[in-house]
Amino acid sequence: MNLSVRFSLFSVLIAAMNGCGGSGDGNNGNITQVVQPNPPSSFDAASENNGDVRLSWSLVEGVDTYNAYYSTDPKMDINNYAVYSNSGWIKNITSPYTVKGLAVAPVYYFIVTAVDNNLESKGSQLIPIITRYEIVSQENDVVRDKVTNLEWQRCSLGQTWNKGTQDCDGVAGRYNTKIAFSYNGLSSGRWRLPSMAELKSLIYCVEDKKISFIGSSVKDYCPQKASITSGVAKNTFPNTLSVIPYHSSTEAEGYEGKGVYQMVSLINGSTMGGGCGRNCEVTSVHLRFVRDVVK
């Protein structure tokens, strides 16, 4: 076969290949484009009675697996999560998922991502959750603060704990200083009137998704700003009235020995002096009792 014939046959072969899509250079029909999945939406977190955290989120279409990241630092970046305090990365999970074995801390922050074809989505919204409390009584009416190692009655005096609804029924009563101190050293339950600092430890401020408990920072109250919300953990201490202050066992500074005690607002931790002695019948405030953990 001469050179011209061989060239003609080669040309026909190439044309046939191009006609059937054999080259592939100009045809992208068989190429699958890999797209980064969307992040999960409707992400939520809830503290369990034992201090674990239950995560749940809306599923992303076509995605079978998810990752979760957490830290005690609200500025956590999932691309460098390991450099943040008390951080962790949980791979290949599905909703719902319970995070166990967290180190003791007042607050954790959580993010979830979707994973498809080894591509990870951007992070979901950041969710803060208070993790310092755990239920320690059979009736669920007593909580332990794992940070301060104190146990608290979940209801204010005058209210009744409802185990079925997990709520405090009734309205908190208003009591005088004499009644407040009558609970100190009770043999049944070892309950006592909390100090000013102990009452303040229940209150937190929220600003830019960051939760700060007063007493754990330089602040000892939450500033009154439109950008800041404050109070106590409503799931832990339900039906807590904050308009009337709570009686502490701490004497007002400059009034030692005169029967004037600090009253603490559970709205933002501000204090005021009040009372007129342990036999006084005048003071009328709310009461919540605490006890030390027996080791």
CB 50 within 8 A of CB 37: no
**pLDDT one-digit tens code per residue, 127-149:** 999 999 999 999 999 999 999 99
Token pair 């501000």: residue: 270
Return the higher-pLDDT residue of 183 and 137: 137
Determine the pLDDT at residue 32.
61
Dig out the tokens for 22 from the structure. 């054999």
Can you tell me the distance from the alpha carbon of 269 to that of 217, in angstroms, rounded to the nearest whole number? Answer: 13
Query: To the nearest 10°, the Cα dihedral for 26, 29, 33, 37?
Result: 160
Can you tell me the distance from the alpha carbon of 231 to that of 39, in angstroms, rounded to the nearest whole number? Answer: 31
* CA-to-CA separations, 295 to 132, 145, 177, 195, in angstroms, rounded: 18, 14, 30, 21
pLDDT > 70? residue 176: yes
The phi, psi pair for 116, rounded to 5°, reads: -145, 130
The edge-to-edge listing of strands for the beta sheet with 290-292 is 133-135, 142-145, 150-153, 290-292
**pLDDT one-digit tens code per residue, 78-97:** 999 999 999 999 999 999 99
CA gyration radius, the chain: 31
Mean pLDDT lowest among 156-160, 186-190, 227-231: 186-190
- Provide, rounded to the nearest whole percent, the portion of the chain with pLDDT above 90: 59
The phi, psi pair for 121, rounded to 5°, reads: -75, 175
pLDDT > 80? residue 40: yes
pTM for this predicted structure: 0.80
Mean pLDDT lowest among 54-58, 62-66, 126-130, 211-215: 211-215
Average pLDDT over residues 99-113: 95
Determine the pLDDT at residue 30.
60
Can you tell me the distance from the alpha carbon of 209 to that of 71, in angstroms, rounded to the nearest whole number? Answer: 14
Determine the pLDDT at residue 29.
56
CB 72 within 8 A of CB 86: yes
As to burial, measured by CB atoms within 10 angstroms (0-12 exposed, 13-18 middle, 19+ buried), residue 88 is middle
CB 186 within 8 A of CB 290: no
| DSSP assignment of 155-201 | S-TT-EEETTTTEEES----B-HHHHHHTTT-TTT--BPPPHHHHHT
